[in-house]
Structure 1
């Protein structure tokens, strides 16, 4: 809970105690506590802002202030205690809702540098947009950059979500459809705070900063990877996170346009659709790398001239963005190393081995899924199981075959220089995003695992940092060498293709 919210609940409790005593000598105490409660209610609304979780507490506060300040008929003991019990339940409800759906600031980055951020708008005039029907529509991308910032200058810390009411509403409506909840339930997200500052200059350095590209999962967006980007930037990286337009809940452009989700990925044509989308996203990344070179030379005016180490570019991504990271590292000679966080590999046929350092970070279900895959190689899936999965036998066979090829590719990638595969016990799919920090309820609906969200974020951020330190900066990592007592949740399977 926020400071004024806690003080308001405490003041309500104090007023109730005074009123319950019912002595004339407490009349002045009732007035004082009533005025204090009213002042705290006004302060909370003015300085922290309304949020729906506090509605029961607001109602109790208003009634108690009126009861404390105005002369009233004395109620019987039974009535007073019944009403007080109801008020306690209402205050408890607000406290519980505020703790389960908290207003928070993202975890402080662990690096020594202050973090700056800004957003860039790029247009790829060489590509037609395939997700819209408008002819001549060129591919546009919004890219948010996080970087080590100069100690002075800049304003912040900035909110996690855009402050513009229209844009914020587009985000809440998008997540409303994504999570099957009313948009009003996400209104309090506008209070979430990040750690980066806007308008700050890049921190001066003797050498340019290594670069990390970041790709989000299907249907969400770059915002869910803010803490990962901030942490890397605090350790001396410049991070470019792209919104893959029309594959996000919302993407806001400088001219006030806000696009939504228009990407089709049907179950019937899952791999065909996925291959098409993957090529679009991979071209997005290639185009952004082109822009990095222009930013660094000054061909595009920006604060990043001469600040980017173009010879040390890494990439990371989650889910479909993880598949994109693998594709980009595999196909783009300018990208040196990469991380796939709980994503698949779509391009599996006729592939050579990954020759670059690449790490696969998998959720806790990884070992279970591998065991099931191994089972189905020996015992064919039943019609009842197919029905439960909503697959035809042909669709399932296609999935199984692709998964077998994928696991073999992963195994071979880990045998190359620097390749790693780990799975993290207690994690679910969205433990590789900031969503794990939003609410403990997220784990109850199966989007994240049982691991505490703060612990999950710390673990992911540490392994990501160690990987890029080793492969973009040449800093040998003991953490990546094998099981570590500080992170017993992280497991190193012997062979993923054999289900071990």
Structure 2
């Protein structure tokens, strides 16, 4: 993040206990302007979409892990939906949508806009003359998407409008755009927190139950005990380090380990055809993760 992005994100969360540029000085395992490795048209592509008002950088730890597994990763800043988006010329746009009143219809419209953003990015990356010099490495037949919150809901919305996206993950996102009666046959993973998405409990869970009936292909509904909304992103990890309570009972580093494990397994299965028993049954290595059945409204 730039110092300005850090300042505006911390300000939006009313966090004043650390210097405003703290997040711009957070070290990661990634470097800029490094030549990508791989042979032409061999790398699966995963598109990542953050939550509303959040920057793409909240998904850095997940992006790094996916890259380490041999995926190309494109994380998107959705302009005017983020507290701060910095353009190459230094111009910074802020969050126009943050000031608007929110209804289910509004969220559905936003999700549709996100889907259009993703399709635009794919157009740029997969064109005969792509905008990124490393795009020649991407295998256009192996494209998938994951997102957090409305970014997760947008993964399903994108799959409905763009057949290039072969598989999708919704991390803790309530869905407002309905899957048509014809259903969606491509793989979908629903990954969330029990407080909101336990089958049969609440309006948010009801949107997943509605979608579940229309998902006609491979699908899983997994809940991670002790998590909060931020647990599936870098923000849960950072708030632990800053001593800020985000409502999670699960340590941020553990939540990130679980998120990486299950997201990575999903894409290894559906983009690389590598069997992943982790996704088929409860795991003794990850006892926090419950496999849910909305038909019986049970999780185990």
Q: Calculate the TM-score normalised by the size of structure 2.
A: 0.91
- Residue in 2 aligned with 1:324? 154
* Unaligned runs of at least 5 residues, structure 1: 1-160, 163-167, 374-399
- Residue in 2 aligned with 1:201? 35
- Residue in 2 aligned with 1:248? 82
- Residue in 2 aligned with 1:234? 68
Contact kept in structure 1, 2:40 and 2:137, CA below 8 Å: no
Contact kept in structure 1, 2:150 and 2:173, CA below 8 Å: yes
- Residue in 2 aligned with 1:492? 291
For 1:172 and 1:183, the matched residues in 2 are separated by 13
Structure 2 counterpart SS, 1:239: strand
Deviation at 1:230, TM superposition (A): 0.7
CA RMSD of aligned residues (A): 2.4
Structure 1 counterpart SS, 2:134: coil
Structure 1 counterpart SS, 2:133: coil
| Aligned mate of 1:471, from 263, 270, 280 | 270
| Aligned mate of 1:434, from 234, 243, 246 | 234
- Residue in 2 aligned with 1:280? 113
Does the alignment pair 1:454 with 2:253? yes
Q: Could you report, residue by residue, the CA deviation over 1:409-429 in whole angstroms, capped at 9, with x for unpaired residues?
A: 12442xx33211100001110
Q: How does 1:136-175 map to 2 (within 5 A)?
A: 161-162=1-2, 168=3, 170-175=4-9
- Residue in 2 aligned with 1:24? none
For 1:404 and 1:190, the matched residues in 2 are separated by 38
Structure 1 counterpart SS, 2:67: helix
* Unaligned runs of at least 5 residues, structure 2: none
Q: How does 1:1-400 map to 2 (within 5 A)?
A: 161-162=1-2, 168=3, 170-182=4-16, 185-205=19-39, 208-263=42-97, 266=100, 270-294=103-127, 297=128, 299-300=129-130, 302-348=132-178, 350-366=180-196, 370-373=199-202, 400=203
Contact kept in structure 2, 1:436 and 1:448, CA below 8 Å: no
- Residue in 2 aligned with 1:418? 218
Residues 192 and 274 (structure 1), Cα distance of their counterparts in 2 relative to 1, 3 Å cut: same
Contact kept in structure 1, 2:40 and 2:136, CA below 8 Å: no
Contact kept in structure 1, 2:126 and 2:135, CA below 8 Å: no
Residues 456 and 405 (structure 1), Cα distance of their counterparts in 2 relative to 1, 3 Å cut: closer
For 1:275 and 1:205, the matched residues in 2 are separated by 39
Q: Could you report, residue by residue, the CA deviation over 1:156-186 in whole angstroms, capped at 9, with x for unpaired residues?
A: xxxxx23xxxxx1x22332233212338644
| 4+ long deviations beyond 6 Å | none
Residues 278 and 351 (structure 1), Cα distance of their counterparts in 2 relative to 1, 3 Å cut: farther
Contact kept in structure 2, 1:202 and 1:303, CA below 8 Å: no
- Residue in 1 aligned with 2:206? 404
For 2:237 and 2:208, the matched residues in 1 are separated by 30
* Structure with more contact order per residue of length (Cα contacts < 8 Å, sep ≥ 6): 2
Residues 463 and 448 (structure 1), Cα distance of their counterparts in 2 relative to 1, 3 Å cut: farther
For 1:226 and 1:496, the matched residues in 2 are separated by 35
For 2:297 and 2:89, the matched residues in 1 are separated by 52
More helix by share: 1
For 2:292 and 2:242, the matched residues in 1 are separated by 27
Deviation at 1:326, TM superposition (A): 1.0
Deviation at 1:272, TM superposition (A): 2.2
Contact kept in structure 2, 1:348 and 1:409, CA below 8 Å: yes
For 1:326 and 1:363, the matched residues in 2 are separated by 18
Residues 472 and 349 (structure 1), Cα distance of their counterparts in 2 relative to 1, 3 Å cut: closer
Deviation at 1:329, TM superposition (A): 1.5
Q: Calculate the TM-score normalised by the size of structure 1.
A: 0.56
Structure 2 counterpart SS, 1:465: helix
Contact kept in structure 2, 1:341 and 1:361, CA below 8 Å: yes
Residues 411 and 366 (structure 1), Cα distance of their counterparts in 2 relative to 1, 3 Å cut: farther
For 1:443 and 1:280, the matched residues in 2 are separated by 35
